[in-house]
Chain A
Amino acid sequence: MNDHTLIEELTAVRVLGGLDDADFRLLGEELDAHGPACEECRVIEESFSEVAGRLAFSLDSMPLTEDAGGRIMSSVLGEAADVSEDVKAAVLQVDEDTFAEERPATGRGRGGRPRAWMRVVAAGVAAALLLAGGIGLGYLTIPRGESAQQAVARCVSGATVTRFSAENGGQLAYTSKSGSTDVCVVGSGVRPPPPGKVYQLWTISGKTPSPGPTFVPQDGTVLVTLRANLAGSQLMAVTIEPSGGSLQPTSDPVFTAPIEA
């Protein structure tokens, strides 16, 4: 038995879930001896893993019940759907003083009345969330591994506010902090996109757009938190894209806002 045959044999059993502890350790030792750059070991591992995974498809499908499917989807996507109370609390913590203290003298808060406008938006978001009663909270993208409250609170606390120019009505702004990648996009009165469409955020450097998350306002309210490195970009834009988003914009921006160095 050559040295790869042993690895191949042990890997075959491992991907099928049958390897005992002693052989598991032996496989680890053999792989270590070959090193991570061993192409043969990599091919064995990947090809046998692929075959093992496909074995599941020999079974007849057993669709989940509607109840189970709904429960699972709710649980998984609950990172967005089940955090309404957290978000509500976080947004309610945002007061006008926070923005006033951090608003730069450079006029970064655009639109003439960012403080007043932000007050309206914050209140509007909070009101919308309160009215939603935990059912709808607009759209929220939370960085993985972080609670909604942590994400929103971190995003808006001490942030500066930049207002988007709107082509189709509605109000949208993003918050950012120097030296931080935390960005929060909030809005109110934003029209729903056409059926089958979503809004998508973009950052634009020169003439090159970089895709961001998609969102759909709920009752006109937008609340998106994300992490984005704005350095080197000059513009943030929002377009209307097919559901699921696009890698390149397929329509003209409906919201644009400058990104100042």
Chain B
Amino acid sequence: MQRVARGDEDAFRQLFARYSGTANALAFRIVRQMHLAEDIVQEAFLAVWRKPEGYVADRGSVRSWLMSLVHNRAVDLVRREESIRRRAAEVASDPGEPAQDLATQVAEQVGLPEERAAVRSALSDIPEEQRRVIELMYFGGLSQSMIADRLAIPLGTVKSRSLLAMRRMRKTLMGMER
């Protein structure tokens, strides 16, 4: 990121090759439309390039920061009524099998399989009812009150399940127990 902050295009290309696939997967999971997901990925990487100072190394990893940029944009988008309407209309559509960039695929494989395995393991370790809340909130773009309605549970339960799940994953992924 230091190189990106200096305007190093090669460094930016490496960052893009490494994380754009995951960024696209996250955006698509939330907005459910390929072209909207691509727009979100574009916006997020544009933000990285234009305002690299947004990343502060002491506060976390580049990958988490980058995915938070994607996630925030995707959630903002699905919360808008218009996008929700379109999403509902197209949620069942199959995006097909696009021709993928081989170089990007190769670049992304460096180190990321282990990360995927670790995060999946952490998710699988939390109780099903907590995982359900996490999935609806983070990947579904639903607010706490929407989830309470959807699952017919008290709002306080949604919050407490979120907290317990995050604490557990923090312990598993970061070794932090509080």
Contact = CB atoms under 8 A, between A and B. Distances in A.
A135 interface: no
A64 interface: yes
Given A19-B143, A46-B60, A9 B3 contact: no
Interface string A69-84: 1011101110110000
B163 A63 contact: no
B33 interface: no
Contacts of A214: 8
Contacts of A77: 9, 12, 49
Contacts of A61: 21-22, 24-25, 105, 108, 112
A244 B3 contact: yes
Interface in B1-24: 3, 6-13, 16, 20-24
A223 to B, nearest CB: 14
A54 interface: yes
B174 interface: yes
Contacts, number: 211
Interface residues of B, number: 78
B60 A56 contact: no
Interface in B54-75: 59-61, 63-68, 70-72, 75
Interface in A24-82: 46-66, 68-69, 71-73, 75-77, 79-80
B119 A55 contact: yes
Contact of B9 (A60, A65, A80): A80
A63 B11 CA distance: 19
A18 B142 contact: yes
B120 A69 contact: no
A62 B173 contact: no
B42 A76 contact: yes
A12 interface: yes
Most buried by A among B3, B23, B63, B143: B143
Given A47-B176, A60-B25, A62-B24, A18 B144 contact: yes
Given A64-B38, A66-B101, A20 B7 contact: no
Given A19-B143, A53-B64, A63 B51 contact: no
A13 B162 contact: yes
B163 to A, nearest CB: 4
A93 interface: no
B116 A79 contact: no
B100 A65 contact: yes
B86 interface: no
12 contacts: A18-B147, A20-B144, A47-B170, A53-B63, A53-B71, A56-B22, A61-B21, A61-B25, A64-B21, A76-B46, A213-B6, A244-B11
Interface of A: 8-10, 12-13, 15-20, 23, 46-66, 68-69, 71-73, 75-77, 79-80, 141, 144-145, 211, 213-214, 243-245
The list of the 4 closest CB pairs from A to B, nearest first, reads A53-B64, A61-B21, A62-B25, A18-B137
